[in-house]
């Protein structure tokens, strides 16, 4: 999921890249092979290696240079390929805060309803399930919504979307045409694409893929802006395979 943020960013900037898919159980080994740093710690203090990480051959060093952590990768991409800007100078902290907001408010809220379908698409679901307590401190079973809680979870998620929509409404300029207002309400920066949009996008894309029935009702919520956001980035959305 988080790897998609880097891929969409690269596509928006027109930078060619190659994707190497890793199964969860291979992330640590391959990270160490290429020298990508861990991005955090597991519950017991051991290093936690994560995707995305990138390796860059810039010609100045013998071996490709590794960068891990999506935010560090995004800043590297923005500084190395400034056009078109996706993190305008001086807005770095705002994009980082929006990213945190999306994780803490949207992703955490929706995960209990999506996790079963997400796991069923993994190559090695057993590894993922077995290692979650080490990483999150809870079992998959403990976070999975069941029975009536599933619908309750979607309602909570929709309330979070309504909240974000209300925040985005403030982008609308006085006297804007209906189509300009639609765009301003859809994009975090109002009149242009930016890195912050991508964090909303990857969550919507996850729902569209793993919970297609619920996506049908979410895409028309808040005046259809979530479907508009997806359409706005359609040409930059990477394939899953
Ligand atoms: N702070 C990191 C977090 C990345 C992250 O959590 N990646 C997940 C996949 S979406 C991962 O690699 N998890 C490995 C694991 O939990 O075993 C970032 O933004 O890059």
> pLDDT tens-digit profile of 35-56?
999 999 999 999 999 999 999 9
Write out pLDDT tens, residues 156-201: 999 999 999 999 999 999 999 999 999 999 999 999 999 999 999 9
Give me the residue label for tokens 């991409």. Answer: 77
Q: Which atom of ligand 1 is nearest to the CA of 132?
A: 16
CA of 27 to the centre of ligand 1 (A): 9
181 touches ligand 1 (CB under 6 Å) = no
For the stretch 100-150, pLDDT in tens is 999 999 999 999 999 999 999 999 999 999 999 999 999 999 999 999 999
Which ligand 1 atom sits nearest the alpha carbon of residue 52? 20
Gap from CA of 51 to ligand 1 centroid (Å): 5
For ligand 1, say whether the CB of 113 is within 6 Å of any of its atoms: no
């Amino acid at each position: 999921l988080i790897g998609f943020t880097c891929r969409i960013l690269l596509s928006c900037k027109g930078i060619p890249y190659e994707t190497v898919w890793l199964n969860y159980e291979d992330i640590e080994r391959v990270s160490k092979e290429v020298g990508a740093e861990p991005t955090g710690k597991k519950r017991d203090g051991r290093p936690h290696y994560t995707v995305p990480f990138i390796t860059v051959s810039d010609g100045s060093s013998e071996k490709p240079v590794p960068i891990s952590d999506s935010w560090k990768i995004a800043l590297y991409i923005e500084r190395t390929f400034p056009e078109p800007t996706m993190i305008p100078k001086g807005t770095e902290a705002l994009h980082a805060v929006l990213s945190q907001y999306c994780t803490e408010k949207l992703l955490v809220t929706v995960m209990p309803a999506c996790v079963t379908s997400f796991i069923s698409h993994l190559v090695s679901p057993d590894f993922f399930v077995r290692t979650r307590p080490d990483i999150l401190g809870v079992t998959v079973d403990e976070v999975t919504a069941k029975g009536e809680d599933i619908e309750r979870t979607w309602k909570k998620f929709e309330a979070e979307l309504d909240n974000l929509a209300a925040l985005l409404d403030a982008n609308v300029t006085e006297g804007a045409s209906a189509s300009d207002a639609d765009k301003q309400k859809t994009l975090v920066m109002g009149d242009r694409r930016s890195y912050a949009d991508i964090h909303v996008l990857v969550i919507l894309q996850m729902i569209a893929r793993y919970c297609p029935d619920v996506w049908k009702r979410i895409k028309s919520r808040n005046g259809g802006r979530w479907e508009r956001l997806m359409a706005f980035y359609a040409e930059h959305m990477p394939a899953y395979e």
